[in-house]
Each structure stands twice: as C-alpha cells, then as structure tokens.
Amino acid sequence: MTVPDPLQQPAAPPFVTGSDPMRPGSRAWVEQRFGRSASFGDRILPGVVDSLLVSLAGLVPLVIGIICFVQGLPEREYCTLYGTNGCSVPGTGSTALVTLGVVLMMLSVVTALAMVAYNRVWRVTRTGQSLGKRLTGLRIVDAETGAVPRLGPAALRELVHQFAGIISWIWMLVDHDDRTLADIAGHTHVVHVDKS
C-alpha cells in the first residue's frame, strides 16, 4: 500500500469545454433531442435572404416616393444678377405629388417593419422558420422543449437581433452552445431540419 505524499497537490480536473448534455437548453441537450445545431456559417445565407426580403419590401415604396417627391418639386431658376439664388417658377410643381412622395417614403419604413414582423416573428411562431431558414433547411426551436417559440420569446429574440446586430452574431463565435445573443434572450436554438 502506498501512502499519499501530503505535499503533493491533487491533479486539477481537466478543463472542460463545450456544452453540458445535462443542462436543458445547451447545445448538447438540443442536439441529443431536436437535431444538429446550426453553425455560424450555416446561418449566414438565411440571414442574408431574410435581410434582402426586408430591404426589398421597404425599397419599392421608397423609390416610388422619392420619384414622386422630386417630380412634385417646383422648377427653379436663377433670380439674381449673379445667379447665386434660385427662385421657384410660378405654376410649376405639385403639392399633391410632394405629399404622396413623403407618405410613400414613410410607408417604406412601415412596410419593412411589417415584413420583419411577418417573416421573423409570426412565421417563426407558426413553423419555426423564416423564409430564409426554410430555404436553407434550418428551424428555430425552444431550447428546452424543441417546440416552435411562442410569440413573446420570438418577438424578444427579434428585438435583440435588430438592436444588437453584429454583436449578437459575434457572440455566437465565443458561446459554447452556438447561440447568438438573440437566441439567449429568446431561449431558442437553431437546428437543421431532419430531411427524412
């Protein structure tokens, strides 16, 4: 029988990295129950697709609004001897077109927000997938139950995504559970859809 040396320190436990399979909501927990976790690279294309959809939804009324606004402005001509000041030409311009242009430009913001609400909140609460995630075979799930997120967590997730922006994505690179700040706030995880 060997006697332990009282001066010798016990070996330190090895540094544990990664996700804990016993902790509800962790990457290992999710992968054991709901499917393979989506990596940073897997999430780029659906993010781009969803952003393009929002941009296009807001761009159409914005462009038409700018055209109406510019067309409605009165014509200008130089009215001083040296041509340094411009004056409006009487009888030109249209207040109605300028007003329509302003309304359409404001509508572009409302349209973009409506597209975000539809695609990234409402659709997620129904199917777990935005249009971009559907296209690429990813799904957002509740990190503990695997169900589609409820309205409150889905809306909170999107608010954090919109306000934190790139910081939310960068967080994913250092998080052991492969979650963005938006995923953490909404208690969600993004997984690959089972193709079987």
Give tens-digit pLDDT for 160-194. Answer: 999 998 899 899 989 888 899 999 999 999 999 97
Q: For residues 192 and 42, give the distance between their C-alpha atoms in angstroms, rounded to a whole number.
A: 9
Average pLDDT of span 71-75: 84
Q: Which pair of structure tokens corresponds to residue 112?
A: 């973009």
pLDDT greater than 60 at residue 133: yes
Quick check: is 66 in a domain? yes
Q: Which pair of structure tokens corresponds to residue 194?
A: 């089972």
pLDDT number for residue 131 = 96
Q: What angle do CA 53, 175, 28 make, to 5 degrees?
A: 95
Q: For residues 62 and 82, give the distance between their C-alpha atoms in angstroms, rounded to a whole number.
A: 37
Quick check: is 175 in a domain? yes
Quick check: is 8 in a domain? no
Q: For residues 61 and 130, give the distance between their C-alpha atoms in angstroms, rounded to a whole number.
A: 23
Quick check: is 182 in a domain? yes
| Confidence class for position 112, pLDDT limits 50, 70, 90 | very high
Evaluate whether 131 touches 140 at the Cβ level (below 8 Å).
no
Lowest mean pLDDT among 15-19, 59-63, 84-88, 140-144: 15-19
Evaluate whether 118 touches 166 at the Cβ level (below 8 Å).
no
Average pLDDT of span 55-69: 93
Quick check: is 102 in a domain? yes
Number of domains forming the structure of the chain = 1
Quick check: is 162 in a domain? yes
Quick check: is 22 in a domain? no
Average pLDDT of span 41-49: 94
Q: What is the pLDDT of residues 78-95, one digit of tens each?
A: 666 665 666 666 767 788
Evaluate whether 25 touches 144 at the Cβ level (below 8 Å).
yes
Average pLDDT of span 62-87: 78
The model carries a pTM of 0.74
pLDDT number for residue 88 = 65
DSSP E strands in the chain: the ranges are 76-78, 86-88, 138-142, 188-192
In a 3-state reduction of DSSP, which class is residue 82? coil
Quick check: is 5 in a domain? no
* Residue with the larger pLDDT of the pair 89 and 53: 53
Q: Domain residues for 44?
A: 34-192
Q: For residues 179 and 38, give the distance between their C-alpha atoms in angstroms, rounded to a whole number.
A: 9
